[in-house]
């Protein structure tokens, strides 16, 4: 089994990553950078990715990706030290922090809210959701224990919406200092750098079934 990943999707996804990087902010009195993990839903036909959309775009009609940095900067500037310690944790590299879903500040608990609140009110959206793609800024595309738990819960819910499977795609890029530096220039410079260096980008895909064992699948970029 092979998941077909279009280069057009990767280009759009790296644009999401660009908007999700706050390259220059002050945390605990030091100049730092924050990377917010983009979560993208995938429409898949015969294991071909045919469409994609940020979870934020599905849940909020007025949402535009260019607002992510502004929202992230505002959330961090208004957070207290205790909240930041709980949601940012140890740096992934020197003074570089990753922000995942959390209950304290932006972006909130996106996937949990999608499952428990948004989807029951908008069941037709399930037709679009055949996979989930997220970003690992450490270079390791392996699913974490938390990723596995989230996906197994997610696919069990999607089974009630007649989904036979859900694919989890992880895109990982190491050396965050390098691409954060590129993010200080322009979107085109950043995306161009990421696309030119696909050989140093890791992609990992796993297919999850309701009530059945999940398994790895291969990935092909077209």
**pLDDT single digits (tens) 43-82:** 999 999 999 999 999 999 899 999 999 999 999 999 998 9
Residue-number span of the structural domain to which 201 is assigned: 2-21+36-63+109-221
In a domain, 12, yes or no: yes
- Rounded Cα distance, 10 and 220, in Å: 12
Is 119 part of a structural domain of the chain? yes
pTM for the structure as a whole: 0.95
CATH number for the domain including 138?
A: 3.40.140
141 in any annotated domain: yes
Give domain status of residue 194, yes or no.
Answer: yes
What confidence tens digit (pLDDT) does each residue in 155-191 have? 999 999 999 999 999 999 999 999 999 999 999 999 9
The DSSP 8-state label assigned to residue 143 in this structure reads: P
Beta strands in 6-82 (DSSP E): 21-27, 30-36, 39-45, 48-54
pLDDT at position 89 is: 87
To which residue do tokens 């959309």 refer? Answer: 53
pLDDT, tens digit, for every residue of 88-146? 989 999 999 999 999 999 999 999 999 999 999 999 999 999 999 999 998 999 999 99
What pLDDT is recorded for position 119?
A: 97
Decide if 98 is inside a domain: no
Mean pLDDT of the chain: 95
Q: Give the model's pLDDT for residue 81.
A: 87
Number of domains in the chain: 1
Q: Is residue 9 one of the residues assigned to a domain? A: yes
In a domain, 183, yes or no: yes
């Amino acid at each position: 089994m092979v998941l077909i990943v279009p280069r057009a999707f990767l280009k759009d996804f790296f644009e999401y990553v660009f908007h999700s990087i706050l390259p220059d902010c002050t945390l605990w009195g030091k100049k730092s950078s924050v990377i917010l993990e983009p979560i993208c839903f995938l429409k898949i036909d015969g294991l071909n990715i045919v469409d994609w959309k940020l979870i934020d775009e599905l849940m909020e009609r007025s949402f535009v990706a260019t607002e992510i940095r502004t929202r992230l900067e505002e959330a961090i500037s208004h957070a207290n030290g205790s909240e930041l310690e709980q949601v940012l944790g140890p740096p992934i590299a020197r003074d570089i922090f990753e922000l995942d879903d959390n209950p304290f500040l932006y972006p909130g608990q996106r996937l949990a809210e999608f499952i428990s609140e948004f989807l029951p009110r908008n069941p037709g959206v399930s037709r679009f959701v055949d996979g989930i793609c997220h970003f690992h800024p450490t270079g390791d595309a392996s699913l974490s224990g938390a990723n596995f738990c989230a996906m197994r819960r997610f696919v069990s819910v999607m089974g009630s919406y007649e989904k036979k499977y859900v694919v989890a795609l992880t895109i990982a890029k190491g050396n965050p200092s390098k691409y954060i530096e590129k993010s200080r220039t322009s979107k085109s410079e950043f995306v161009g750098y990421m696309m030119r260096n696909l050989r140093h980008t890791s992609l990992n895909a796993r297919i999850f079934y309701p009530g059945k064992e999940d398994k790895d699948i291969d990935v092909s970029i077209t």
